Amino acid sequence: MTSEQLKVFAVWNGSTKGLEALNPRVAHDPVVQRWWGRAHRLSASPEEFARLVQFGAEIDVESLLEHVRMPTLIFHRKANRIWDIETSRAAAARIPNCRFVELAGSESDLFLGDTGPVLEEITRFLEEADVTPIDDDRLLATVLFTDIASSTEQLVTLGDKQWRMLLDEHDRTVDRTVGAFRGRVIKKLGDGVLATFDGPARAVRCAAAIRDAVADKDLAVRAGLHTGEIELRAGDVAGLAVHVASRISSLAGSGEILVSRTVADLTSGSGITYNLRGDHELKGVPGRWQLFAAQVPPTSGYSSGVGNNHQP
């Protein structure tokens, strides 16, 4: 859809016609009609709603479903005309320890229509589900690798002492910046770093902040990111996601932030834009991987303590 078409859809969605499509059995009720229109007007402008719809259309989390570690309950009303039940079934099949419940009715919103069975199923799920995580040592995270481009050449030019001083300043900047973006530095890698984040957008913005913070020291940082399941191992991390992020980092150019398709999908709508860098083979990793170069817009409100770097 174009931006104008999305705005038209946003207006339609908050109208009686939208209510009839999404929740047909209650659409005749004037009280629900008034509430529906008011709720949509207060929740988002047509422009903001259009952005959210676009975000929903672009994001793809299929590869992450198998990494969900908590018991999950999915509902689908059988006569729903908007959402495909086979898609819901397929998603439920990919999530470990998932209960899929098919309900009678056509409403898209669970709080409309016959809510009795919904409440019964939720009560049963909360009483019976084992809420202990499947594996405390494995979690979903965004992995960031950075390193300094052409570091050997700079070492030769500056000499050991000057290079060590510059590298120490780089490390302090990285520590401050990763902390400011609520990440965790796992370990230093000579002239680079391995860090993890619980949010992919913050990880990408952190990479940009690090790159920009050290630029005035004539250091060019490149970065690679991937989101996936990692294994916690005595102060270190392991797993395929770590290897993928490392391989992506090795393909990044000087000053470039290169990410996997998973990261690009998960940050859709965040204000970060991407340029396609094509399909690549990653050494030791099966298949071909679509990679993107991140373009992070200038922001304000955050200072890493070095230079003029900002983050919302």
> Residue 231 belongs to a domain with what CATH number?
3.30.70.1230
Residue-wise pLDDT tens digits, 165-188: 888 889 899 999 999 999 999 999
Q: Are residues 270 and 190 in the same domain?
A: yes
Q: Are residues 58 and 182 in the same domain?
A: no
CATH of the domain at 51: 3.40.50.1820
Q: Are residues 57 and 165 in the same domain?
A: no
Q: Are residues 232 and 275 in the same domain?
A: yes
Maximum alpha-carbon separation in the chain: 79
Give how far Cα 215 sits from Cα of 24, 36, 198, 220, 249, Å.
57, 51, 26, 6, 18
pTM of the predicted protein model: 0.68
Residue-wise pLDDT tens digits, 109-137: 999 888 999 999 999 998 886 655 555 67
Establish if 266 belongs to a structural domain.
yes
Establish if 21 belongs to a structural domain.
yes
Range of the domain at 34: 3-128
Q: Are residues 67 and 192 in the same domain?
A: no
Q: Are residues 151 and 238 in the same domain?
A: yes
Q: Are residues 60 and 143 in the same domain?
A: no
Residue-wise pLDDT tens digits, 59-74: 777 878 887 878 899 9
pLDDT band at 250 (very low <50, low <70, confident <90, very high): very high
Establish if 166 belongs to a structural domain.
yes
Establish if 144 belongs to a structural domain.
yes
**Alpha-carbon torsion 19, 21, 22, 27, what sign?**
positive
The C-alpha atoms of residue 279 and residue 65 are separated, in whole angstroms, by: 23
Q: Inform me whether the pLDDT recorded for 102 exceeds 90.
A: yes
Q: Are residues 164 and 265 in the same domain?
A: yes
- Tell me which residue of 204, 218, 202, 284 sits closest to 250, measured CA to CA: 284
The structural domain count of the chain equals 2
Establish if 312 belongs to a structural domain.
no
Residue-wise pLDDT tens digits, 274-295: 999 999 999 888 889 999 999 9
Q: Are residues 152 and 91 in the same domain?
A: no
